[in-house]
Amino acid sequence: MIMNEVTPEHIRAACERIAGKVERTPTVLSQNLSERFGVPVHLKLEHRQTTGSFKLRGASNAVASLSAADKAHGVVAASTGNHGRALAHAAKLEGMRAVICMSRLVPDNKLDEIRRLGAEMRIVGNSQDDAQREVERLVAEEGLVMLPPFDHPDIIAGQGTLGLEMIEQVPDAALVLVPLSGGGLAAGVAAAVKGLSPMAKIIGVSMARGAAMKASLDAGRPVPVEELPTLADSLGGGIGLDNRLTFAMCRDLLDDIILLGEDEIAVGIRHAYAREREIVEGAGAVGIAALLAGKVKVSGPVVLLLSGRNIDMALHRKIICGEANAECTT
């Protein structure tokens, strides 16, 4: 039974394992969004996590759970950036070798960070699937241990620690909006939140350009999607045709999935900056964006998970100035 692989107990154990290795991030009330929507709207500021995204939670839990023998071999992963950066950081803390494989679509600012953390990088092909083939080669030929970005029980449990924190911080949360790509975050958060607060609803939010989990759930099985450039680049990539955990968990635990256009995501990034004074990347802004796009029905306290901030600052400036040229003088 799939659900037993990542239980609330597993998530609680992850919480103890990663304490001291990751930040406990604040949850704040958005005055602006609360007034606009007539319910308390809370922002979980996880984009302020060390390495700039929640991915450090899963990576730290997975690395800390390895056997001594596996630690000696080192770890390898395919990543659109944030998982790679988090794994590089977590491996460095443990004094382990880390190799990160990624496609050419990954933005330069993310590459620089991973390089700075001392991990080895392999840049291959134009899709996550190409990067994944390189991972499999390194596992077979060099004995490295693969820690995938989402479809792994220790990764999901690590991301799930966010759900425990959210319910501690907002015990009466009625609705949680979670950015959704491969589904490690949504599966972990949903398992934790529904374990503590079974009536709470969890909605996943993806970009319309290449929403792999949505396409797969609609098809009833994991399907490939074309990877396209998007402002929410951290949500790109497939869910893996041999998906073991996150497909079933998202199917069983998510109440709905919302898809957003690029303009709607840009509005979310602008709102985060101008109204909340927060710099977030596209993937981190989709909860705010879904609300502002009028795509969610709210009837009680809402928590929006701001998942990351690793956006190229030149791009961020362009988005902020995009529709306000008169006010943007520099």
Ligand X SMILES: *Cc1c(COP(=O)(O)O)cnc(C)c1O
Backbone angles phi, psi at 205, to 5 degrees: -125, 125
Using CB under 6 A as the binding rule, whether residue 266 contacts ligand X is answered as: no
Residues paired with 176 in a beta bridge: 202, 303
Minimum separation from the CB atom of position 181 to ligand X (A): 3
Minimum separation from the CB atom of position 80 to ligand X (A): 7
Binding region for ligand X (CB under 6 A) out of 1-9, 175-183, 194-202, 320-328: 175-183
Residue whose CB is less far from ligand X, 40 or 288: 288
Residue whose CB is less far from ligand X, 152 or 201: 152
Using CB under 6 A as the binding rule, whether residue 114 contacts ligand X is answered as: no
Of 81-100, which residues contact ligand X (CB under 6 A)?
A: 82
Radius of gyration of the chain (CA): 18
Using CB under 6 A as the binding rule, whether residue 234 contacts ligand X is answered as: yes
- Here the tokens at position 128 are 């996550």
Residue whose CB is less far from ligand X, 235 or 292: 235
Using CB under 6 A as the binding rule, whether residue 53 contacts ligand X is answered as: yes
Q: Which of 74, 158, 160, 179 binds ligand X (CB under 6 A)?
A: 179
Q: Which of 6, 66, 283, 288 binds ligand X (CB under 6 A)?
A: 283
Residue type at 226? E
What proportions of the chain, in percent to the nearest 5, are helix, strand and coil?
50, 15, 35
Minimum separation from the CB atom of position 237 to ligand X (A): 8
Using CB under 6 A as the binding rule, whether residue 181 contacts ligand X is answered as: yes
Residue whose CB is less far from ligand X, 53 or 61: 53
Residue whose CB is less far from ligand X, 40 or 81: 81
Q: How far apart are CA 83 and CA 93, in angstroms?
A: 15
Residues 6+ apart with CB under 8 A from 279: 47, 272, 273, 309, 311, 316
Of 286-315, which residues contact ligand X (CB under 6 A)?
A: 307-308
- Here the tokens at position 29 are 């009330």
Compute CA 210 distance to the chain's CA centroid, rounded to the nearest angstrom: 16
Minimum separation from the CB atom of position 198 to ligand X (A): 22
Residues 6+ apart with CB under 8 A from 197: 167, 171, 173
Q: Which of 84, 236, 284, 301 binds ligand X (CB under 6 A)?
A: 284
Backbone angles phi, psi at 297, to 5 degrees: -90, 120
Minimum separation from the CB atom of position 319 to ligand X (A): 16
The single-letter DSSP state of residue 144 is: P
Q: Which of 40, 183, 268, 287 binds ligand X (CB under 6 A)?
A: 183
Question: How many chain residues interact with ligand X (CB under 6 A)?
Answer: 20
In the chain the beta strands, taken as DSSP E runs, fall at 27-29, 41-44, 75-78, 98-102, 120-123, 145-146, 175-179, 201-207, 256-260, 302-305
Count the neighbouring beta carbons within 10 Å of the beta carbon of residue 197: 18
Using CB under 6 A as the binding rule, whether residue 185 contacts ligand X is answered as: yes
Compute CA 289 distance to the chain's CA centroid, rounded to the nearest angstrom: 16
Where do contacts with ligand X occur on this chain (CB under 6 A)? Answer: 53, 55, 82, 149-150, 179-186, 234-235, 281, 283-284, 307-308
